[in-house]
Amino acid sequence: MSLTLVIGNKNYSSWSLRPWIAMKAANIPFKEVLIPLYLPGSKEQILSHSPGGKVPILIDGDQPVWESLSILEYLAEKFPDAKLWPSDARARSHARSVSTEMHAGFVPLRNHCTMNLWLPPKPRPETHTPEVMENLARIETIWGDCVKRYGGPFLFGKTYGNADAMYAPVVARFHNYGLPVNAVTRAYMDAVMALPAWREWYDAAMKETWIMQHNEPDWPLVRGRAVTAPV
């Protein structure tokens, strides 16, 4: 039985990116269904796949699995060879702590620096609020600690896994909003952005045409150009 992953717009849907990049990086085959968000009928389309009404949704046979984190747990169980969680119990518990911390936390960063891959990358100091800078400091501590303990280039060693996938949207946020990151953080971001899976998602995002004004900090500039047509 093949897997189907229901996702939102690639340019904006940070939660969709997580299972998508984990599956691509691990070579897990799946069919992608993309539902552009916040258009007439979007909500109904999503609800037809899952009662939570949110993307991403993984469908395996007749069982829908929703929420990025539980999808990653499901994939880790179903594809043990992909090593999405570290095989060592102690490292695995660490990976789950940092993944769940991301899942429920870092609200200021998520609100001020919404994921927007086509946003021209540059420092955007108006988004670097004290709360965002606190989030940055905590994430740099987490990443620095992981890379040091497990040797990098990814958080838990050589394999790009679930914890990395949970933080993939953060890499984009740091990059596009030009947060002042340290060298270890930058090296980790570069390792993630060099993945063919990252490139594939990014290239597809660049081809999208749906614009969400509330996620465009330079509005009425989008991708560096004035938007003239109503959206």
Partner 1 sequence: MLTLVIGNKNYSSWSLRPWIAMTAAGIPFEERLVPFETPEFRLEAGPAAKVPLLIDGDIRIWESLAILEYLAETFPAARLWPADAAARAHARAIASEMHAGFTGLRGHLPVNFARKVMKRPLTPQAAADVARIEAMWAQCRARFGGPFLFGTAFGAADAMYAPVVSRFVTYAVDVSRETRAYMDAVIALPAWTQWRDAAVKEPWLFAEDEVDWPQVHRA
Q: Give CA–CA dist 59/195, Å, rounded.
A: 25
Is 23 in contact with 30 (CB distance < 8 Å)?
Answer: yes
Which residue in the set 87, 93, 111, 182 belongs to the binding site for partner 1 (CB under 8 A)?
93
Q: CB under 8 Å to 179, separation ≥6 — which residues?
A: 113, 123, 128, 132, 136, 173
Least spacing, CB of residue 41 vs partner 1, in Å: 20
Which residue in the set 2, 40, 41, 90 belongs to the binding site for partner 1 (CB under 8 A)?
90
Question: Alpha carbon of 55 to those of 89, 145, 218: distances in Å?
Answer: 30, 31, 26
Which residue in the set 16, 99, 162, 185 belongs to the binding site for partner 1 (CB under 8 A)?
99
Single-letter amino acid code for the residue at 88: D
The count of C-alpha atoms lying within 13 angstroms of the C-alpha of 109, restricted to the half-sphere facing its C-beta, is: 26
**By the rule CB under 8 A, 164 interacts with partner 1:** no
The count of C-alpha atoms lying within 13 angstroms of the C-alpha of 105, restricted to the half-sphere facing its C-beta, is: 15
Show the tokens assigned to 152: 């990098």
**By the rule CB under 8 A, 65 interacts with partner 1:** yes
Which residue in the set 29, 40, 41, 51 belongs to the binding site for partner 1 (CB under 8 A)?
51
Strand partners, 222: 225
Of 60 and 208, which has the nearer Cβ to partner 1? 60
Length of the chain in terms of residues written: 231
Q: Which stretch binds partner 1 (CB under 8 A): 21-29, 33-41, 65-73, 178-186?
A: 65-73
**By the rule CB under 8 A, 83 interacts with partner 1:** no
Q: Give CA–CA dist 129/108, Å, rounded.
A: 8
Least spacing, CB of residue 48 vs partner 1, in Å: 16
**By the rule CB under 8 A, 104 interacts with partner 1:** yes
**By the rule CB under 8 A, 1 interacts with partner 1:** no
Which residue in the set 20, 74, 143, 177 belongs to the binding site for partner 1 (CB under 8 A)?
74
Least spacing, CB of residue 67 vs partner 1, in Å: 4
Site string for partner 1, 201-230 (x = CB under 8 A): ------------------------------
The angle formed by the CA atoms of residues 152, 156 and 157, to the nearest 5 degrees, is 40
**Which residues would be at the binding site for partner 1 (CB under 8 A)?**
51-52, 60, 63-70, 73-74, 77-78, 89-90, 92-94, 96-97, 99-101, 103-104, 138, 141, 145
